[in-house]
């Protein structure tokens, strides 16, 4: 093992007796072949990517093959609408034709859609193959690549078919973010800001005071803020892998309404982070109406989200459609949603039994926003 290659480890996820590293650095992809050969030693790798990330996948293929690892690439169509069992079937056939074996390695190279789908394939093909995550979007870096939640969508809802299956490593090259559009970047910052809102007021204040440096991807400041954010998720996942202890569910702040917005709009009008941003505002209003978050803190949350050009309302959506979509939420038990709310910025809590009237009032606030 070459210690110099591992100085950029931002965190480690520890699940039972197993663990895996999360590497975050600027320009570290060129080392991927040596790292994988050192860590896993696979003879063959299968890179699953999409049209948006294939340029990165080709560079990774070169690094892997220079290290003596035979590498194949599957390029799926881009977008949430392709995170389906139909696409999974195509990847299964591709692996079967190449006679993939259990000791070979699958690598997801792309955003959250690729990471979710490739991880689901890895968890099910041959009853489980090792896999790694190389996210190429900020949303993938912050959220989908960490924690082993792998899944695909059904028409009835997001991520309804899936499992918990941990990767062998996560490698995030922050320089990849320079290829993203402003909208894609902002969508990713929503998840990072969410981490600060649920457990770390100091990190929230960093997002509030360093908007220009973070938005312009200053290498040092951006890498540091990403390391701090992913370390929060790594710690939460390590303490509650399968969301049974009431800890990991806190990561779903904003997601109940956010997922409903995605379903109600056919996954086409809002990027995931944009939907979550609106969902966090809805959750903030529910928090306030439940006697928790103050109106001043709602303003703070709104101002920070808007400073990263994230939406804080979704005018024109049908409230009944949102209610219907929320009934399919994975956190719904016997018709009751487990809501993740904020007691204050930096302190999330869960609540069951929030009345439909309270939720309806909050939805009105994001559909027809009024400052309270």
Give the active site residues. 127, 149, 191, 233, 243, 248, 252, 255, 259, 272
Residue for token digits 């692996």?
95
Please report, to the nearest 10 degrees, the dihedral formed by the alpha carbons of residues 317, 322, 324, 326 taken in order: 160
Is 142 within 8 Å of 111 (Cβ atoms)?
Answer: no
- Tell me how far apart the alpha carbons of residues 253 and 231 are, in angstroms, rounded to a whole number: 17
End-to-end Cα distance, the chain:
57
The tokens for 95 are 């692996």
- Tell me how far apart the alpha carbons of residues 271 and 177 are, in angstroms, rounded to a whole number: 16
- Tell me how far apart the alpha carbons of residues 265 and 296 are, in angstroms, rounded to a whole number: 31
- Tell me how far apart the alpha carbons of residues 234 and 47 are, in angstroms, rounded to a whole number: 24
**Cα→Cα distances 87→107, 108, 131, 167, Å:** 16, 14, 18, 20
């Amino acid at each position: 093992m070459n210690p110099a290659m591992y100085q950029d480890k931002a965190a480690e996820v520890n699940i039972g007796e197993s663990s895996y590293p999360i590497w975050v650095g600027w320009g570290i992809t060129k080392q991927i072949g040596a790292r994988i050969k050192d860590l896993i030693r696979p003879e063959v790798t299968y890179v699953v990517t999409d049209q948006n990330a294939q340029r990165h996948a080709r560079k990774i293929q070169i690094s892997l093959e220079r290290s003596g690892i035979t590498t194949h690439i599957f390029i799926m169509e881009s977008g949430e609408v392709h995170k389906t069992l139909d696409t999974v079937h195509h990847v299964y056939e591709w692996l079967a034709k190449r006679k993939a074996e259990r000791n070979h390695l699958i690598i997801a190279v792309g955003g959250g859609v690729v990471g979710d789908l490739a991880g689901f394939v890895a968890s099910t093909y041959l009853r489980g193959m090792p896999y790694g995550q190389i996210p190429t979007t900020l949303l993938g870096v912050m959220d989908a690549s960490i924690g082993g939640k792998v899944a695909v969508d059904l028409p009835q809802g997001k991520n309804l078919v899936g499992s918990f299956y941990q990767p062998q490593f996560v490698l995030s090259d922050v320089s990849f973010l320079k290829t993203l559009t402003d909208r894609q970047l902002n969508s990713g910052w929503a998840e990072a800001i969410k981490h600060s809102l649920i457990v770390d007021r100091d990190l929230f204040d960093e997002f509030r005071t360093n908007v220009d440096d973070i938005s312009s991807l200053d290498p040092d400041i951006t890498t540091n803020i990403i390391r701090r954010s992913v370390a929060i998720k790594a710690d939460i996942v390590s303490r509650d892998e399968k969301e049974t202890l009431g800890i990991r569910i806190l990561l779903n702040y904003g997601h109940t309404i956010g997922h409903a917005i995605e379903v109600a709009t056919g996954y086409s009008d809002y990027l995931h982070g944009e939907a979550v941003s609106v969902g966090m505002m809805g959750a903030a209003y529910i928090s306030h109406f439940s006697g928790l978050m103050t109106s001043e803190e709602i303003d703070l949350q709104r101002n920070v989200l808007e400073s990263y050009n994230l939406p804080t309302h979704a005018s024109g959506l049908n409230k009944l459609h949102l209610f219907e979509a929320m009934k399919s939420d994975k956190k719904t038990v016997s018709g009751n949603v487990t809501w993740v709310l904020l007691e204050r910025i930096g302190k999330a809590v869960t609540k069951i039994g929030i009345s439909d009237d309270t939720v309806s009032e909050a939805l009105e606030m994001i559909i027809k926003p009024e400052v309270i």
